[in-house]
Amino acid sequence: MEIIPAIDILNGYVVHAKGGERAKYKRLKSWLTQFSDPFELIYNFKLLGFKKVYLADLDSILKCEMNIELYKRLNQIVPLMLDIGIRTLDQISVLFDVHIQNIIIATETLPSLKFASDILSIYSPEYFAVSIDLKAGKILSSVKELINLKPEEALKLFKSIGYLKALVIDLHNVGRFKLMDPLLIRKLVETGVDVIIGGGVKDISDILKLDYLGVKGVLVASSLHKKTLTVDELKEYGFL
């Protein structure tokens, strides 16, 4: 199981994500970065042994303000899983131009299911992961076919389109140390899609639970910054 540090960027700075209430996000204070600097943080993650970093660019997701040079430079330090709120094929083309090869297609910003299908008619699914974005268990999306689905039903739908990997992130749990319902996680894993869980991981016991449930990866942030989960523990159990 892969442990993937998660970073949220707003106005060019790393912010502390909590509960999905983005208007209240403040600059991150952490032993891993003095100045909420994404370069310093990602470089330190690399030094600690992490092989990949998940990055959500809220400037792009909320305001459609892409920062291509930032993505390019950060990706040269550690490969990114990048969520910029993909809405067009042109955005994907630009990301490929700067060698981003783990692109997130998120339900929150997805314009239509046809668009999700169009992507895979052009590109290989190995470069993409769908993100099932939740708020207190409900799917965040403007796509009418998705709104009333259960998360595992949405995952099956994206699998039928051709997606092989998925993040499932409950924004309500982010930064709050409340793990997703294990029964839901089991249902997600049973779809046969490679599942990465995000939101609510507190400590090594949560990591071990998720590993037991069969997920392929876990996003972690607050637990690293607050040291409720340590690099030594991750190494002790063979996750790093």
pLDDT at 87: 97
Summarised one tens digit per residue, pLDDT across range 103-143 is 999 999 999 999 999 999 999 999 999 999 998 889 999 99
Residues 13, 17, 20, 23, Cα dihedral to 10°: -40
Q: What angle do CA 218, 222, 223 make, to 5 degrees?
A: 70
Q: Which domain holds residue 202?
A: 2-236
What CA–CA distance (Å, rounded) separates 240 from 236? 8
Summarised one tens digit per residue, pLDDT across range 71-100 is 999 999 999 999 999 999 999 999 999 999
Beta strand 138-139 pairing with 128-135: antiparallel
pLDDT at 118: 98
Q: Where are the alpha helices (DSSP H) in 98-230?
A: 113-122, 144-147, 151-161, 182-189, 204-213, 222-225
Q: How many domains does the chain have?
A: 1
What CA–CA distance (Å, rounded) separates 93 from 209? 38
What CA–CA distance (Å, rounded) separates 206 from 208? 5
Beta strand 13-16 pairing with 26-27: antiparallel
The pTM score is 0.94
* 26 pLDDT more than 80: no
Residues 45 and 78 sit within 8 Å (Cβ to Cβ) = yes
User: What number of other Cβ atoms are within 10 A of residue 216's Cβ?
Assistant: 16
Q: What is the CATH number of the domain that holds 203?
A: 3.20.20.70
pLDDT at 137: 86
